[in-house]
Structure 1
Amino acid sequence: MTPVALDSQLHAPARLQIATVLATADSAEFARLREITGVSDSVLSKHLAALVEAGYVSLTKSPLDGRSRTWASFTRQGRTAFAAHMRALQALIDSAEQAIAAQ
């Protein structure tokens, strides 16, 4: 099997869930990401901070219903990295399916 380059910044389950949401939307509100990932505010904040530091996500704050809300969105670099990560995961799946089929 050829080595597959998984992106360590995206591979953690919560980050992969965040990336999946951001790949299908222009942006996602913090509370929605918290619901989807099932993690606490502090854990989600740490994951988002890591994705921001990697250059994959940008955060903006805007008022909604009289309160400031945090919105996350992919950067161009984040979309590119996520697409590459998905290709790497697909290569792993394809390899495993071939091995199973050969048994």
Structure 2
Amino acid sequence: MTSPLEEFDPVIHPPKRLAAMALLDASEGADFSFLRDHLHLSDSDLSKQMSTLQAAGYVTIHKSGRGRGSSTSFTITKNGRAAYRRHRRALTALLTQEEASQNL
């Protein structure tokens, strides 16, 4: 029997990235300001978190325009969706094990 911890993804696990992945998994994409506001992050912190997810191949970053009229949006990749769902299953399994051991 394998431990749920073996399925944890260290890139996704930090709370800010986990929350971003959850939002992206439930949508077709999100723009920068939406994620920033919903995750309560600064611009620089969101950029850092999303760059890490992009480097792992979990999100794509789309930029359009320049200067004041520019916009940035994010979408989850197929690999990112699979990794997020695997990580979520591992978390659920771990919590379920914990609850079962408390009921013994």
Same fold (TM over 0.5): yes
Aligned to 1:101: 103
Alignment of 1:20 onto 2:22:
yes
The aligned counterpart of 1:75 is 77
Distance 2:70 2:37 in 1: 18
| Structure 2 Cα separation of the partners of residues 51 and 78 of structure 1 | 8
Instruction: Report the identity percentage.
Output: 38
Structure 2 distance, partners of 1:2, 1:92, is 11
Question: Does the Cα contact within 8 Å between 1:17 and 1:36 map onto a contact in 2?
Answer: no
Residue 62 of structure 1 and its aligned partner are, at CA, apart by: 3.3
Q: How far does residue 80 in structure 1 lie from its aligned partner after superposition?
A: 0.4
Q: What amino acid sits opposite 1:61 in the alignment? A: K
Q: What SS class does the counterpart of residue 58 from structure 1 fall into? A: strand
Match of 2:49 in 1: 47
| Residue number in structure 1 paired with 2:8 | 6
User: What is the TM-score normalised by the length of structure 2?
Assistant: 0.90
Cα deviation, residue 26, structure 1 = 0.6
Unmatched 5+ stretches in structure 1: none
Q: CA RMSD in A?
A: 1.5
* TM-score where L is the length of structure 1: 0.91
Mapped to 1, the partners of 2:53 and 2:87 lie a distance apart of: 14
Ranges in structure 2 where 5+ consecutive residues have no aligned partner: none
For this pair of structures, how many residues does the alignment match?
100
